[in-house]
Amino acid sequence: MRFPWMLLLLVPAAFALEQNSREMVMDVVISSDIGIVPRAASGVIEDLEAAVSFLPLEDDRQGVSSLTASPDAVREGDILKFSWSQPSGTVSFRISAQVTRKNDPVKIRERVPFPLEGIPQEYLVYSKPSPNIDADDPDIIALASQLASGEDDAYAAVSRIAAWTEQNIEYSLNTLTAEASQPASWVLQQRQGVCDELTSLFIALVRAVGIPARYVSGLAYTNWEGKDGWGPHAWAEVYFPGYGWVEYDITYGQYGYVDATHIKLRESADSKEPSTAYRWKARNADIRTNKLEFQVAAQQAGGRTEDLVTLSAAPYAAAVGFGSAALIEASVQNTKDYYIAESFDISNTQGLGVDHNRRFLFLAPGEEKKAWWIVQVADDLDPSYQYTFPIIIFSSRNQTASTSISVSRGEPGFSAATMQKIIDEAEEEQVKAYSKSVSLECAVQKAEFYDDEQNMVSCLLRNKGNIFLEGMELCFESCQAVDLGISQEKRMNLTIADRAPGKKERRVTVRHAELFKASDVQYTVNDPPKISIAEVSVPAAVRYKDSYELSFLLGKESFSNPRNVKITLRQGSSVKRWASPELLDSEQIVIQGRAKDLRAGTNRILIEAAYQDKNGRMYAAEGEATMDLVDVTPWQRVKLFFNAVLGDITGAVV
């Protein structure tokens, strides 16, 4: 019996097409109103001023056109001042602008030495502690130093800090932080916060290692938790000597850039600075202020951002058993001549438990790296099906790669711990630079063999570098020491001692202080094929003119498949035969019989199975039952006699 196939569906990840745009043109409106509240009949506001510091800014990546204010306002730097004389009731103000935003990251092509030295005076204010960005907190200093320890590239150090912040601080609106922004030290202690607090902590960590960073307030598009539109947002800009300010949005996982839906409204040294300052002169009167309101309408999206990396995905094992863990590997190569910091996620797939931690890669020009996810196959799937699970890996820039795994009975099973060990070994290989100078190629002599046969794994180990490798540890089912000179190669045959039946995925590893290499081999261990004939069922008694049903279970009792299976059924004067090239699974057999094929009295029904293994060795099994042919008339006995005689000669029945 072959397994029916079942294709599992992806649960689509929602993201906005606008976030892929190279350029966005958006109409932006910022507004609010102010209520005049007399405390007495004679109460009056003589003069009122609202200084709004939230307005679209211009820089290398953001242009502003047709900025208007109602009522008329005076612009002083990056502040618009509205004023009213003797206002009453409610007054309002409105700022309108058209903003053109480019997704055009700063291209850092060379290493920026770290720690930074000779920072210009104008940037020093952004490297000092501030009320909410308390970079002088001892815990923040300790963590920042730990994250940047040993790094000599400022871009890499900042990217490490960004990745740690995103991966270890939970974004949550279900706390008091949604209304009252907390200091960075509080966020680090609580391990949660909203976008402004994640940004404050990131900036504090960056400042703690001497790198200037500033707080950016603005608007951005989101569809998080059912939202669909623009809302207030915060991100950071980090100063790199020779390149200027580089954007980091920790909440969105955008490092070294922000997408074109981001609208910058203010740059500041701290998140605690107010968006609007009010001054008024009054007698027996107060004012009631309201939050700023924002409206954004996208007018035009220009082009799609280019792909910066090549991205591919593949499973460690393409087929696994039910309840198994599986490992998905993404290979990423930077195709540009500048640094790229990129994050990657994995799709939801029905029937798979997925580790949703975002993976982060920092890539130098032309560099290739890998990322991994462990997924868990559900243990409540119907084992009579063979499943295919589609999987998509996608980047923060919405670049995607697809792969899949299949699940069925008989395939190898892996634990999550085994898959984690494979990840740890792959990361060890990436870290140990000399690994690139050594190759390890292994293959099994026989891809499939029986448990009473010998089999070997043949490995070729080459040293293509300039170091004499002494005391390497080569491990398969056991370990041995291996030496290998410069430009030398060595072939080794490793005996497979494991005789447990099943499909196997095994690794050969070579470990040394300078390197780590692994080579995976696949093989199948077969046990002797075994068929059982059980649960034979027939009526206890039948009459001459009756039909009856014979059923039995043809059981596959071995991992290996019995081949060239021949079934013989002997009942009375009747002999029937069937043949099958291979028994893939146990089968329930039902046969319709005629009582006239039997003999009067008690009949022994014999079921015989003859079969082979792949080497042609013969095996046999049998089962039996009894059934009585009763109430036979003399004339029926004559017919039964001739049926038996003719059946013995030709198999004919009258």
Query: How does pLDDT run across 505-530, given as a tens digit for each residue?
Result: 999 999 999 999 999 999 999 999 99
Q: Which of 11-25, 89-103, 398-412, 447-461 has the lowest mean pLDDT?
A: 11-25
Is the pLDDT reported for residue 654 higher than 50? no
Is the pLDDT reported for residue 176 higher than 50? no
The whole-number average pLDDT for the span 580-597 is 92
Residue 386 and residue 253 share a domain: no
Domain end (from 418, 452, 480): 418
Confidence of residue 205 (pLDDT cuts 50, 70, 90): very high
The whole-number average pLDDT for the span 445-460 is 96
Domain end (from 364, 396, 418): 418
108 lies in some domain = no
Count up the domains in the chain and report the number.
Answer: 5
**Mean pLDDT taken over the chain:** 91
Length of the chain equals 654
8 lies in some domain = no
Query: Is the separation of the CB atoms in 601 and 525 below 8 Å?
Result: no
* Assigned token pair, 15: 């993201």
DSSP element (H, E) containing 50: strand 44-52
**CATH number of the domain within which 193 lies:** 3.10.620.30
Predicted pLDDT of residue 1: 36
Predicted pLDDT of residue 177: 42
Predicted pLDDT of residue 194: 85
Q: What is the DSSP letter of 445?
A: S
Residue 580 and residue 624 share a domain: yes
Q: What digits encode the pLDDT tens for the residues 334-379? A: 999 999 999 999 998 888 888 767 899 999 999 999 999 999 999 8
Confidence of residue 649 (pLDDT cuts 50, 70, 90): very low
Residue 536 and residue 522 share a domain: no
- Measured between alpha carbons, how far is 611 from 564 in angstroms, rounded to an integer? 5
Q: What is the DSSP string of 145-185?
A: HHHHTT--BHHHHHHHHHHHHHHHSEE-SSSGGGTSPPPHH
112 lies in some domain = no
Is the pLDDT reported for residue 13 higher than 60? no
610 lies in some domain = yes
Confidence of residue 534 (pLDDT cuts 50, 70, 90): very high
Q: What digits encode the pLDDT tens for the residues 226-259? A: 567 899 999 999 999 999 999 999 988 899 999 9
Residue 226 and residue 177 share a domain: yes
Query: Is the separation of the CB atoms in 537 and 589 below 8 Å?
Result: no
Is the pLDDT reported for residue 173 higher than 80? no
Q: What is the DSSP string of 488-504?
A: -EEEEEEE------EEE
Closest CA to 324 of 216, 416, 404, 410: 416
Residue 312 and residue 292 share a domain: no
Confidence of residue 152 (pLDDT cuts 50, 70, 90): very high
389 lies in some domain = yes
Predicted pLDDT of residue 623: 95
Residue 162 and residue 248 share a domain: yes
- Measured between alpha carbons, how far is 352 from 7 in angstroms, rounded to an integer? 12
Q: What is the DSSP string of 323-359?
A: T-EEEEEEEEEE-SSS-EEEEEEE-EETTEEE--PPE
The whole-number average pLDDT for the span 116-142 is 95
320 lies in some domain = yes
Predicted pLDDT of residue 303: 84
Predicted pLDDT of residue 17: 43
Domain end (from 238, 266, 294): 266
pTM for this predicted structure = 0.78
- Please give the residue range of the domain that contains residue 299: 17-103+275-304
**CATH number of the domain within which 504 lies:** 2.60.40.3880
111 lies in some domain = no
Confidence of residue 195 (pLDDT cuts 50, 70, 90): confident
Residue 570 and residue 606 share a domain: yes
Predicted pLDDT of residue 398: 86
Residue 299 and residue 314 share a domain: no
Predicted pLDDT of residue 227: 66
Predicted pLDDT of residue 21: 86
Confidence of residue 597 (pLDDT cuts 50, 70, 90): confident
Predicted pLDDT of residue 397: 87
Predicted pLDDT of residue 646: 67
110 lies in some domain = no
- Measured between alpha carbons, how far is 201 from 180 in angstroms, rounded to an integer? 15
**pLDDT greater at residue 634 or residue 20:** 634
Residue 259 and residue 167 share a domain: yes
Predicted pLDDT of residue 356: 66
Residue 480 and residue 353 share a domain: no
Residue 413 and residue 296 share a domain: no
Q: What is the largest CA-CA distance in the chain?
A: 130
Is the pLDDT reported for residue 174 higher than 60? no
Residue 470 burial class via C-beta count within 10 angstroms: exposed 0-12, middle 13-18, buried 19 and up: exposed
DSSP element (H, E) containing 33: strand 21-38
**CATH number of the domain within which 348 lies:** 2.60.40.10
Residue 323 and residue 408 share a domain: yes
Predicted pLDDT of residue 178: 47
